[in-house]
Amino acid sequence: MKNLLLLILLFFQINLIFGQTKSKVFELDSLKQEFTKVKNDTDRVLLYEKMIRVAPNSQAGIEYGFNGFNLAKRIRYDKGVILCGNSVGFKLVESDYYKAVQILTEVKQTCERQNNQYELARTLGFLGYAYNKFDFEKAMSYFKACKKMMEKVKMSEDIIPINSAIGNCYKDFGKLDSALVYIQKGYEHSLKSDKLLPPYSFYVHFGEVYLKKGQFKLAMDYFRRSIAAKPNNPDGQAYQGIAMIYRAKNQLDSAKFYAKESLSIQQKKNKPIYIIQSANLLFELYKNSNPAEALKYILISSATKDSLFNQEKVKQVEKLAYEERESEARLQRRLEAHEADLQSKIRIYALSGILLALVVLSLILYRNNKSKQKANHLLHKQKEEIDLQREKAENALVELKSTQNQLIQAEKMASLGELTAGIAHEIQNPLNFVNNFSEMSVELAHELNEEIDKDTMDKNLVKEILSDLTQNQQKINHHGKRASSIVKGMLEHSRTSTGVKELTDINALADEYLRLAYHGLRAKDNSFNCDFKTEFDESLPKIEVIPQDFGRVLLNLINNAFYAVSQRKNLQGLADLTGLGTVIVSTKKLDNFIEIRVTDNGIGMSEATRAKIFQPFFTTKPTGQGTGLGLSLAYDIITKGHEGTIEVESKEGEGSEFIITLPMKPN
pLDDT attached to residue 423: 61
Q: Is it the case that residue 342 has pLDDT exceeding 50?
A: yes
pLDDT attached to residue 8: 41
Greater model confidence, 116 or 523 = 116
Q: Is it the case that residue 2 has pLDDT exceeding 50?
A: no
What percent of the chain has pLDDT above 90?
A: 15
pLDDT attached to residue 6: 39
Return the biggest CA–CA distance within the chain: 145
Let me know: does 530 contact 504? Beta carbons within 8 Å.
no
Q: Is it the case that residue 606 has pLDDT exceeding 70?
A: yes
pLDDT attached to residue 246: 92
pLDDT attached to residue 540: 93
- For residue 584, what are the CA distances in angstroms to 421, 481, 531, 575? 21, 29, 9, 22
For every residue of 386-444, DSSP letters joined together read HHHHHHHHHHHHHHHHHHHHHHHHHHHHHHHHHHHHHHHHHHHHHHHHHHHHHHHHHHH
Residue 588, strand partner residues: 595
Instruction: Give the model's confidence band at 585: pLDDT under 50 very low, under 70 low, under 90 confident, else very high.
Output: very high
Q: SS3 for 660?
A: strand
Greater model confidence, 345 or 5 = 345
pLDDT attached to residue 644: 93
pLDDT attached to residue 537: 93
Calculate mean pLDDT across residues 596-607.
Answer: 92
Q: What is the pTM of this model?
A: 0.43
pLDDT attached to residue 266: 84
The percent of the chain in helix, strand and coil, each rounded to the nearest 5, is 75, 5, 20
pLDDT attached to residue 341: 66
Q: Could you state, in order of their start, the residue ranges of all structural domains in the chain?
A: 502-663
Q: Is it the case that residue 497 has pLDDT exceeding 60?
A: no
For every residue of 484-529, DSSP letters joined together read HHHHHHHHHHHSPP----EEE-HHHHHHHHHHHHHHHHHHH-TT--
Q: Which CATH superfamily is domain 502-663 in?
A: Histidine kinase-like ATPase, C-terminal domain (3.30.565.10)
Greater model confidence, 332 or 468 = 468
CA-closest candidate to residue 501, choices 548, 540, 539: 548
* Element holding 278 (H helix, E strand): helix 272-286
Torsion of CA 440, 444, 445, 449, to 10 degrees: 160
**CB environment 508-543: b (16+ within 10 A), e (fewer):** ebbbbbbbbbbbbbbbeeeebbbebeeebbeebeeb
CA-closest candidate to residue 85, choices 62, 57, 65: 65
Let me know: does 244 contact 211? Beta carbons within 8 Å.
yes
pLDDT in tens, 443-488: 878 878 887 887 787 878 888 888 888 888 888 888 787 777 666 5
- For residue 592, what are the CA distances in angstroms to 543, 546, 588, 657? 11, 19, 11, 22
From its phi and psi, is residue 85 left (phi > 0), alpha (psi between -120 and 50) or beta? alpha
513 vs 498: CA distance, rounded Å: 19
pLDDT attached to residue 169: 84
pLDDT in tens, 262-277: 888 888 887 777 888 8
Q: Is it the case that residue 580 has pLDDT exceeding 90?
A: no
From its phi and psi, is residue 156 left (phi > 0), alpha (psi between -120 and 50) or beta? beta
